[in-house]
Every structure is written in structure tokens, then in C-alpha cells.
Amino acid sequence: MAATTIPGKHVDIRMWTRPETVEEQAMRQLQNIAALPWTFKHVAVMPDVHYGKGATVGSVIAMRDAVSPAAVGVDIGCGMTAVRTSLDAADLPADLRRLRAELERAVPVGFGQHRATAFTDRDARDWDTFWRGFEDLTPAVKANSAKALHQMGTLGGGNHFIEICLDTAGHVWVMLHSGSRGIGNLLAQHHIEVARGLAHNESLPDPDLSVFLANTAEMKAYRHDLFWAQDYARRNRSVMLRLICDVLRKQFPQVTFEQPISAHHNYVAEETHFGEEVLVTRKGAIRAGRGDMGIIPGSMGTGSYIVRGLGNPDSFESASHGAGRRMSRNKARKQFTAEDLASQTAGVECRKDNGVVDEIPAAYKDIDEVIRNQEDLVEIVAKLKQVVCVKG
């Protein structure tokens, strides 16, 4: 669909969804973002848009000489990885419970962590250099070095997941969704509070949109910690993918894997748009430059998409990060039961208990409609449907 333009105080808002479908809280957030003097050109709003802390989930914000840590969110570097395997649907057993159990044993979920380090020299060659960078992070997180070490290669909870999927041709895919775990959250919370205390942010309409300004010590410190956390998130997914592939190799010795697709969807990047160098914050959005491969998941009982970016400049070369929630977690817990969850995830080997009712498919928007709304942002490469889903 063509984007709809809504006037804003400083810049306009361009939306790849019908404005009447956006809840009032989220629209108010978008207007606050559009009123910031540092916001560049316009605010790009993806079709999975919904209310979030600080900035709206599904928003793409370009700024000149400034960045808002809350516009990134507390799960710095959260994103997706997917890889197509050589397996076909016929290779999978009829009962997938053992496969799910093996995945859950290999990758700690929820608050779980590894007893020993999970990464090896198979994952990357520069682990020592990366971990030495921990010493240069803000002193506020120094007591968490052991936790950060043992959470590397773990899933977490909430909407994070590991899935075994089938595409429409019957090929088996691995897909996972996770971020920078506890260390990313601590770094984000620290810098959000620092930004709120700066004098130039005192008169903002929403203190959560406080920014760091270019050429300041606070901006330098945030950018350092931010990029380290984004690297942590990327490595975290890489280690998990290796652990998952090891599980598949044990059960299916003949399996091979294609080149993984990996993309952040809560992050900051230095990019050039409309002829200017800007800092682009994607919160619940993926980069969709021309030819960029991306992943747009649905919920734990619906389909997901592998996509290729079309490089639309009006979206700052971006697309949605998923289906997007249509109701809060609290509302979902009140409205649905474990029986509803079991019904809506029929045919998927996954948890079907009260602990994950807030992740029920009905709590999310229609992924097919979300994809249709961004036909000028991405093209479909493959449509996937999960047969195994691991949740924290």
C-alpha cells in the first residue's frame, strides 16, 4: 500500500498502515517523536506499529547529530536469524517432541544460562578482543561480566523463540529471535537515565525521548556501549544457531545448511538518506535496502516470511520486524486461556500452558495483512510455517 502522510509539528509522519488502526497511545508517541527538533525528514511507521516504552514499536527515526536511547529500546540489537537446511518435511519424524526437548536442552531459555561458556572457535576468531571490550563499558555494568559471559548463546523469554519451520516447498528452516540479554538491558537502562538528566531534554513532551547530542561525552559513551551490545546480540544469535545446528546434525547426520540470514530490528546505524548523514534508529524494524535479505515473523501459530528489500527511500530503506502486537500482554492473559492457546497452535510442537498465553497468536496482528501493507518495501522470497516452537 502507499504510505499515508500525517502532519507533525516538526516533521511529518509517513505510515504503511491505516491510521485508524493505530491505538491512541502509539499515535501520541509518534507525534511526540515528530515534534523533536533533531528528527530528520519524517518519521517512518511500519505496518506492525504498536505502543512501546519511549518510542513506538515499528518506528524508524532518522536524526541529525542526536540519538534517543529509548527509541532503540532496552533489548539492544534484538533481531532474527534464519537458515534453510537440506532437510525436507519427509525427513522429520511424525512426533517432534524429542526434537523440541533436545533444542531446549541445548539452548537455555527464560532466565536460564550456560554453566560454562557456550562459544567456541567455531563461532568466531575474535572472542578475546570482543570480551576485552567489556572492560571499557560503563562502570554501572561491571559487576555483570560473569552473567554476560554465561548468557551468551541463550534465548531469553517474552517473544523470543527458536523454531523449526517448513516453507511452501517443504524445505526445513531454522529460525530464531533473540537479543542482547541482560547486559543489553542494563546498558540501555543506564543510558536512558543519563539522557533524562541532561539539561537540553528538560522541556521534551516525553522524558523517555531524551536524546544525546553529537560531540558530547555522553553521546560518545552511549555509542560505544550501544555498538558493543549490538555485537553481543549478533554473536548471541550466532552461537545459538550453532547449538541448534549441532542438535540437528545429531538427529540427521546428512543435514547441511545454507548461508544464514541475520538482521537486527532494535538498533542504531550510521546511514546516508536524502543526501545527508544521519543516525537511523529502527525499533521494531529491519533494514530493507535494495537486495537486503530480511525476516518478518508472525506469531507462534502462524506463518513467517523471508523477504528481500526494495530500497524504498521514503521508509529510510526499512520494513516491519514482525506482525506486531494488537493487544498488551496483560490483556491477552485476561482474555485467553491455555485451552485457547492449544487450539490456536494446533499442529505445532510447543508450550501450550498459561506461562505463554500472552504469546497467543490472537494477541498479534495478521501477518499476511502486515506483509501486504509493505509491498513497496519488500518482496517475498519464502513463506514459512513453524512445526516446532521453543519459548522461554
Radius of gyration of the chain (CA): 20
Residues tagged in the binding site annotation for GMP = 159-163, 265-266, 297-300, 304, 321-324, 391
Q: Residue 122 CB: number of other CB atoms within 10 A?
A: 10
Contact 388, 348 (CB under 8 A): yes
**Which of 84, 123, 114 minimizes the C-alpha distance to 383?**
84
Distance between CA 384 and CA 361 in Å, rounded? 15
Distance between CA 280 and CA 23 in Å, rounded? 24
Residue whose cell numbers read 560473569: 146
Residue whose cell numbers read 568466531: 124
Q: Provide φ and ψ at 311, rounded to 5°.
A: 70, 35
Query: In sequence order, what are the beta bridge partners of 43?
Result: 13
Distance between CA 96 and CA 103 in Å, rounded? 11
Q: CA 47 → CA 17, 186, 307, 320, distances in Å? A: 5, 29, 15, 6
**DSSP-derived 3-state class of residue 131:** helix
Distance between CA 324 and CA 373 in Å, rounded? 13
Check if 321 is active-site.
yes
Identified catalytic residue from 42, 150, 191, 321: 321
Residues tagged in the binding site annotation for Mn(2+) = 75, 160, 177, 265
Residues tagged in the binding site annotation = 75, 159-163, 177, 265-266, 297-300, 304, 321-324, 391
Which residues does the annotation mark as catalytic? 321
